[in-house]
């Protein structure tokens, strides 16, 4: 990730925060919907939503 971001239970900004993810941590985005990305945070092993703009650019293949 390009910056620190809250991992939330739901897609709304006021959803419960279940973890704080730091810049550089791995987040596997499984779905992009509007301003959110839903997926798995590798380090804590939790599933949730983050702000999609925190993902940064995709690595070169």
Q: From CA 3, how far away is CA 54, in angstroms rounded?
A: 6
Query: Which DSSP symbol is given to 35?
Result: T
Residue labelled with tokens 């999609």? 52
pLDDT at 44: 81
pLDDT at 56: 81
61: its two tokens: 């293949």
Question: Which letter, b or e, does each residue of 28-43 get, where b requires 16 or more Cβ atoms within 10 Å of its Cβ?
Answer: eeeeeeeebbbbebee
Note the pLDDT tens digit of each residue in 2-61: 899 999 999 999 999 999 999 999 999 999 989 999 999 988 889 999 999 999 876 565
17-21 and 27-33 strand pairing: unpaired
């Amino acid at each position: 990730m390009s910056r620190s971001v809250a991992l939330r239970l739901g897609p709304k900004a006021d959803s419960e925060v279940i973890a704080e993810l730091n810049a550089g941590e791995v987040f596997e985005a499984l779905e992009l919907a509007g301003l959110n990305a839903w997926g798995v945070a590798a380090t804590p092993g939790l599933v949730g939503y983050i702000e999609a703009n925190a993902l940064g650019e995709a690595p070169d293949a």
